[in-house]
Structure 1
Amino acid sequence: MYNIGNSSKIHVVGQLNKNENNEIQGLMNSKNKLSFSFDMIDENGKIESVFYGEPMPPDFLLSEQIVVIGSYNEERFIANEILLKCPSKYTENNIKL
């Protein structure tokens, strides 16, 4: 899903594109690990190629849902920011009153 807040920033919500072995498709770190790219599936089911010019955020590989904020060029989405929703540490079974 694309949410255009202003003309220069687009929000794309989705999840990481993982294969049957739970490996993220298209995941490539730069040689110096200061940037990386990956594939995600947006809320419409479209596979998006994303480039992020910063190091991989902690818990990126564990995220359940991601929001990338940035813009498109001809080949892929260029993210300026990545927001992660990680699995909860707490489940209903752990809640005691």
Structure 2
Amino acid sequence: MAFFFERAETDNEVKIVLKPHSLYVMLLMLATWLINEMVLHIMPVTQIIMPVFIVFMVIRFFSLVKVQKEVLIAMKQGKVQTSGSKFSFSNPFTYSINK
């Protein structure tokens, strides 16, 4: 999925860029839930946020499974280089896999 990662392939390497958007969305949903639970005590909001949060986590997990399998195989072969930070928009976490 383009929201979670970008994959670009050339003749020499595969570049996989993990986008930080999904982490910030999950943190925002979690913060909203905690504020609602601790301060506001509005039950309908809690009943909406938590299922959406869980579904979002499951979708993110299953969309990244293929990427993680590819990276694990390349790690065993010693062909992976990483750079960036998983929380940075300007320098996102990037896997570079040599062919």
Larger-Rg structure: 2
Give the TM-score normalised by the residue count of structure 2.
0.27
Q: Which has the higher helix share?
A: 2
Give the TM-score normalised by the residue count of structure 1.
0.27
* Structure with bigger RCO (C-alpha 8 Å, 6+ apart): 2
